[in-house]
Amino acid sequence: MLRSSNPILSKKDAFTPAAPNGPGYAPYPGPYAQNPYQQNPYPQAPVQRDQGRMTFDDVITKTAVVMGLLIVSAALSWVFIPDALYLPALILSSLVGFGVVLLVSFRRNVSPPLVFVYAVIEGVFIGMISKLFEQWYPGIVIQAVLGTFVAAGITLAAYKFFNIRVTSKFRKIVILSTLAFAGAMLVNFILSLFGLNLGLRGAGLFGIVFSLIGVVLAVLNLVLDFDYIEQGVAIGAPARESWRAAFGLTVTMVWLYVEILRLLSYVRR
């Protein structure tokens, strides 16, 4: 059974091959199963409904579809949502998007329509926050988009070509660091409601360092995601789990983009 710091990929039954008597297999009909008065010394063999296995090509294709839908939604939101509504749209989409993430995470099977709903809603969030930062710092969105895909590409290349192996100690460090980072963000947000600021989100040196830590943690979570997807393919996870993998990668990529966007804004400021 596989674990990841990504809440989507860490679902307890994610990437677990089906047991011989689990879903996808018909019950074994023993003798006299069909007719108790008719003896049958030759019981029928179990019937397996093969649903296929997850492959790297499936994960890449589905991730491209989800990311493409998110980008289209972001572009349409940027163009058609008026300036007077972009702040409410930003707040609403962030809250609804977070709720959809939790909903997908707690479902036993990932529903592709829910993944598409997340892509559309998160696209609105990305479109609005990108428009906000672009108004303050012209040209920053292109830099953040390029930085995100370059960082993800370099991470994948390093993972494959340097044959990176994720150990239990490395996984524990990344998970605990991610939780600590999220906890610090939550505390900073709560204190900001009362007019207090810890300096975690600001143009000062502390804010830049904290945002840089966020970028590093997002990249390390990508490494964990790649590792768990590779293990899922190796153990023969069901093909439907490729949607879970695509969803988890998209969530991490969105986090990486937002952190790079913030970091660039602090440097520009």
Tell me the domain boundaries of the chain.
Answer: 56-268
| Residue 34: predicted pLDDT | 41
Contacts of 1 (CB under 8 A, 6+ apart): 12, 13, 16
Q: What average pLDDT score do residues 64-70 get?
A: 95
| Residue 203: predicted pLDDT | 64
Q: What average pLDDT score do residues 28-35 get?
A: 39
CA distance 199 to 191: 11
Strand partners of residue 238: 53
pLDDT digits (tens, 9 = 90+) for 167-208: 889 889 998 998 898 888 778 777 776 777 766 666 677 778
CA distance 89 to 74: 12
Strand partners of residue 246: none
Q: What is the DSSP code string of 198-232?
A: -SSSSSSHHHHHHHHHHHHHHHHHHHHHHHHHHHH
Q: Contact 248/210 with Cβ under 8 angstroms?
A: no
pTM recorded for the entire structure = 0.77
Task: Tell me how far apart the terminal alpha carbons of the chain are, to the nearest angstrom.
Answer: 46
CA distance 233 to 245: 11
Name the nearest CA neighbour of 127 among 92, 89, 159: 89
